[in-house]
Amino acid sequence: METKAKGPKLFAGRANPALAAAIARELGVANGQIEIGNFSDGEICVQIEENIRGEDVFIVQPTHAPAENLLELLIILDACVRASARRVTAVIPYFGYARQDRKDKPRVSIVAKLTANLITAAGADRILTMDLHSGQIQGFFDIPVDHLYAAAVLIDDLRAKELSNLVVVAPDIGSVKMARAYAKRLSSGLAIVDKRRPKPNSSEVIEVIGEVEGKNVAIVDDMVDTAGTLCNAAVALKEEGALDIYAACTHGILSGSAVDRIVKSPIKELIVTDTVPFRGELPKNFRVFSIAGVLARAILCIHKEESVSSLFNF
């Protein structure tokens, strides 16, 4: 008897339900039936409300703060494993705790490695994520990791602006590789802002390396949190004679007074994706692009056992 081919089973955590719904629409499937709640003391409880025995399961859950988002992912993973899913892929659009990926001071934890261990121990068979803060984090996992890039979405928007004399700028040394990739695809120049970070979530601009005078600028980075690095870089670039300044960041964390800081900065427009949800209404010069299509295509490739590398051709 001929059996009907099964499609991927998609389940959404509570960290970014809008993105999970968008991915489901792109795939043409419905999100799986799952009940996620809390006891009166805050303890998380999860129940998969449909049969997933032998299914190829994908769990969409970014792990940004609060820590409950990570814990919820671990509990959903465990529930799927115990429900006898054939394979469970953790789809983590934004991998939280990635900034703590090395021992840069005495007596600190390498939380990115700890997080990788927890996700693996919870039963994930593979990881699908986007624009890790540091590429080396892929090596923290002992399971396959598919690392996607939002550049395909963001570059299209920058290219559509048809900016003359464009220079792509890395706001710090860590983002040079990303900036170089953008500059190559946009056929533009490259500049670097050299900075010193005296303490977490603060930065001090030291020097602009490269020619930006009389040029339009696109600052690119993997994330914008407090926006200190981004805004300090924009101020330094303006002082060096830059014209219009745009910023493109994959993960718009935008914590604290980040939005107000960007509004008051020389940045003409900030472009981000929807890897994390946004609290409140964003100003008009903030533009949000969805990466649901990219993630949906990757999920389909994984499910069909096809190459994911074709998604990098943009």
CATH 1.10.10.60: does it fit domain 9-149+293-312?
no
pLDDT single digits (tens) 124-142: 999 999 999 998 999 999 9
In the predicted model, is pLDDT for residue 203 greater than 70?
no
- 300: helix, strand or coil: helix
Proportion of the chain in helix, strand, coil states, percent, rounded to 5: 30, 25, 40
The mean pLDDT of 109-121, rounded to a whole number, is 98
Which range, of 57-61, 63-67, 82-86, 104-108, averages the lowest pLDDT? Answer: 104-108
pLDDT single digits (tens) 43-58: 999 999 999 999 999 9
CATH code that applies to domain 151-290:
3.40.50.2020
Is there a common fold for 9-149+293-312 and 151-290? yes
Distance CA 300, CA 306 (A): 8
Distance CA 173, CA 192 (A): 7
Per-residue tokens: 181:
């990739």
The mean pLDDT of 213-220, rounded to a whole number, is 97
Residue 312 banded pLDDT, cuts 50, 70, 90? confident
Which residue is catalytic, options 161, 195, 199, 268? 195
pLDDT for res 122: 98
In the predicted model, is pLDDT for residue 84 greater than 70?
yes
pLDDT for res 5: 59
What single string gives the DSSP state of each residue in 127-184? EEEES-SSGGGGGG-SS-EEEE-THHHHHHHHHHTT-TTEEEEESSGGGHHHHHHHHH
pLDDT for res 314: 53
Where is 19: in which H helix or E strand?
helix 17-27
What is the percent of the chain where pLDDT is above 90? 88
Number of residues in the chain: 314
The mean pLDDT of 256-263, rounded to a whole number, is 96
Residue 2 banded pLDDT, cuts 50, 70, 90? very low
What are the domain boundaries of the chain?
A: 9-149+293-312, 151-290
pLDDT for res 1: 43
pTM of the predicted model as reported, rounded to 2 decimal places: 0.93
Distance CA 171, CA 187 (A): 19
The mean pLDDT of 230-236, rounded to a whole number, is 94
In the predicted model, is pLDDT for residue 105 greater than 70?
yes
Mean pLDDT computed over every residue of the chain: 93
Active-site residue, 268 included? no
pLDDT single digits (tens) 56-65: 999 999 999 9
Residue 262 banded pLDDT, cuts 50, 70, 90? very high
For tokens 């979530």, name the residue. Answer: 201
pLDDT single digits (tens) 158-201: 999 999 999 999 998 889 999 999 999 999 999 999 876 666 66
